[in-house]
Every structure is written in C-alpha cells, then in structure tokens.
Structure 1
C-alpha cells in the first residue's frame, strides 16, 4: 500500500484530499494550528514550516507520494519545497504540487494549456513558478504539477465569503471582462486520486472544460443559493476580455472525471 503524506492537511483542499485518500492508502497529514482532532489523530503531525525542517518528518515517514497543499509565508514554502525535492531525489519518491492558474496571469488574450510558458505579474504567481521550475528539472515520474483555477464547494472559503458579504448587505466585487474556468473540491480530490492510482506523470490542468465570464458565474452561484438581486460592484480592469483559465490539452482525464461550469455551480450550492 502506498504511503501518502499531505502537507497542509488541515486546510480546505488538503483536508478534502485526506478524506478522499485515507480509505485507500496509508495516508498522513500535517497541520499547523493546534486542534484537538488533529492532535489526537496519530495520522496527523504538527509542522511549522517557518521554524521546522520538513526533512525530519520525511525521514521518519518515508512517504511514497507527497502532496503539497501548503499555505503561508512564501519564503518558508520555497525552502520547504526545495528540501522536499532533495528528499524525493534521494529516495526516488514523488511530489504532487498544487499550483495555480496565476502562473499565467501575465497572459490575458487566451486560456493556458499544460506546457505553455508560465509568466506572472503577481507575487503569488511568481512564487508558484519558482517551485514549478525546480520540479520540471526532475525526471517525469517524480512529480506532478496540478494547476487549479478558483476552487469552490459547499464548504469552500469562497462560498462562505459570498454568503457573508451578501448577508452584510455589502456589494460583491465582480469582473465582467474576466473570462475564467473553475472547479469544485470533490471533483479535484477524485482527479488527484486517479493521478496517483494510474501513476500519471507531468502537468495537469484541473479546471472546468468550459469558460464563463466571472460576473456571470458569481451571479449564477448567488441565484442557486437563493439570493435575489444581490448587489454587485463591477470592476473593469480592461476594455477587452481578459482570460485567466487553465484548460487541458495534453493530459486529459476520463470523461467521468471532467467537470463543467454548470456542475461546479450545482455542486457548490445544492443543499
């Protein structure tokens, strides 16, 4: 049985991955903030990347697959990921790195595919690119780069934020000229499960197969949650459509593991 370590398993994406994988693999996770559940669960280990070296935990667990869904200080993340890369080279194991559509946020005229050149204007995007570039130097079987667009779900931080803003009577900031794709957390966990099971290699774009204007998407989400006529603040940062979407071309998953925008809306809003 494969041994899997999920870094950031107390977060939204990491915890969903733990719940998906723990019945099928010998699965461990890390958490940062003290919590009775995590402290009492022997599959979870406390890890503070700003004060601790990940190498100690990796040597103790010797995972076959490491999934990184870490959040926090960018410099500390870079140091941690370079330590992970040294470990997987030494032990011939694998890192699945959860990256972002923001590695392409400098390109605005078209959606991006798996092996397009990355270029970012944001600090967040450039940080993700630095780790991606280090992984791309490894043998293919030792890494997956999984790029995600915005991730929704019934309990997602994005859905909670939308509800909070509307309930406070504040306007939701939306972008009528930004074309996006999106995804839903349970589908993401199934997709990563498939990648592990089939030993798939390389870069994956795990967004919806279709695109939508960001304002229209948020309006559909609000409508499905039962909010009538929510307040919108339209933000125009361009006179033309600007794309921030990641689509698959080389590494496509089976049909049953693909998702559409309408399915993202439904899965994120149904009771």
Structure 2
C-alpha cells in the first residue's frame, strides 16, 4: 500500500466521458478533483477544475506538473500512439513522486482472444482486438515499472439508467426499433454507480494491484437485456440476434483473488434492478 497523504489531489483524465464524469461527481465532495476534457466538449470550459487536454496535441508532462496530482485516474480515449506516450509521461511523473497512485481504467477487452472460459485477475491477458491489445500494452507499462503505485481496474459492460446502452435500449423500445443482442455471449456486468463506489473505496484504502470490478455472476447478453426490458415496461424493441458462434463464448471477467468487501460487490440481478428503474433520467453533463 501507498502511504496516505492528508490531502489528496485527484486528476481524472477523460473527465468529460461517461465513466470519467461519473467518477468526478462521486469524488468531488471528498477530494480536490481536477479533470480533463478535449476541445470538442466546450461546455466544460466554464468549470475551473476542468482542463483542456487532447493527448494528440498537448503535453501530459506540462499538465501533471501544473496540477501536481497525488492520484491519477486514467479514463482517457483517443489515438493509441498519443495515449501510450501520455501514459509513459504518467509513469515518469509517478517515478518522481513515490506517493502518487495511478488508477488505470481497463476492460474485459484484454481477454477478448480468450473466449472459452471466464477470466480472473491472475489469468494471462490475450486480445485480438486493437483496443484490447492497446489496453494490455498500457497495463504492462504500469505494472512493470510502477507496480507498487498502480491499480488496474478492469470493467465489464457498464450500465445504469444514464448509460449509453440503456438510453439506446429505451429509445429502441419507444420507437419499436432494432436492438442487437448476442444469444451465445456470456458476460458479466456492473453499473456506473457501483464502479464509482468501488473506486472511492480503492482510493480510501490506497489499494494497488489488478481488480475485476464486475458482477459476481454471469449472464447471457440476450437474457440480460431482455430481463431489463421486461422490468422497464410492457413494450419491447425488435431484438436482433447476432450469432458469432454456435457455442457459448465468454467475455466475462470475474473477481476472485482480489475481491472487494461484500458491500462493494454486485450481482447481475442488482444490475438489472438498477437499470430498469422507472425514474426521471437525468443526462450527465
């Protein structure tokens, strides 16, 4: 564990995105929080703790030395080469600041080349997608050079009443439009609220290592969205079944060797319940 500091200054890279912005709102009441947004998100320019940063154009070195964060949360997107160079600068900064903790938001894509079984924290990564291979490269960079300062947070599909997938599902229900489901794909899931709570706990406890922030159980992709739809109401979208194999394929990450306490875990049933809440949907800005 990294020694706690009295005052933590957090920098969220990608604070204008769905996940990054939710983390910002979770942590803001408790820490000094700064975020980045890329220039196309001009609405964030009025917020003085949001800093304009595009990995393809701007210097991560200058940003870090301006803000001097004690915790860096990377949820940034963009060009792979620029992103990797930015993470190299993060590593260099962390080497000079031994109390700095780096949380990297990764995903189940690091296992998308391994589809016969669910994957656990200690399993070797294997990806076939460009995105999965890139995430593996960043994980490897952090874990090899600053392992005692790194928390790798692998996420499954992240849902919630304001998540892009659930908003899309509701639109498809409303307009009787096509919604794609994958009957032979076995997945784990979570909600954005649970992810934010888990990250808050990891920060408070200054935990490092690899974490699978996913449900404790698995579900077929089609069953998940059919159950959410049934709980939302009586109307249904047009479910379009997409088959990539005649047999079940796994895109499921499960927590095993690095579990968080029970109150910070989640089940598929809880994901379904939260996603089907019939309350006013407030857009994340």
Question: Is 1:40 matched with 2:50?
Answer: no
Aligned with residue 24 of structure 1, among 30, 34, 58: 30
Alignment gaps of 5+ in structure 2: 1-6, 280-285
* Residue aligning to 2:196: 189
Within a 5 Å distance, the mapping from 1:50-129 to structure 2 comes to: 50-92=56-98, 93-129=100-136
CA contact (8 A) 2:71 2:101 kept: yes
Superposition CA RMSD, Å: 1.4
* Residue aligning to 1:233: 240
Aligned length: 271
SS in 1 for 2:78: coil
Moved more, 8-17 or 33-42: 33-42
TM-score by length of 1: 0.96
Aligned with residue 151 of structure 1, among 147, 150, 158: 158
Structure 1 residue 116 displacement after superposition:
0.6
CA contact (8 A) 2:13 2:75 kept: yes
Distance 1:166 1:76 in 2: 39
TM-score by length of 2: 0.91
SS in 1 for 2:203: helix
Question: Is 1:205 matched with 2:221?
Answer: no
SS in 2 for 1:66: strand
CA contact (8 A) 2:73 2:103 kept: yes
Structure 1 residue 35 displacement after superposition:
5.0
Aligned with residue 224 of structure 1, among 225, 231, 235: 231
* Residue aligning to 2:283: none
Distance 1:119 1:2 in 2: 35
* Residue aligning to 2:16: 10
Could you report, residue by residue, the CA deviation over 1:125-150 in whole angstroms, capped at 9, with x for unpaired residues? 00100101111103432111000000
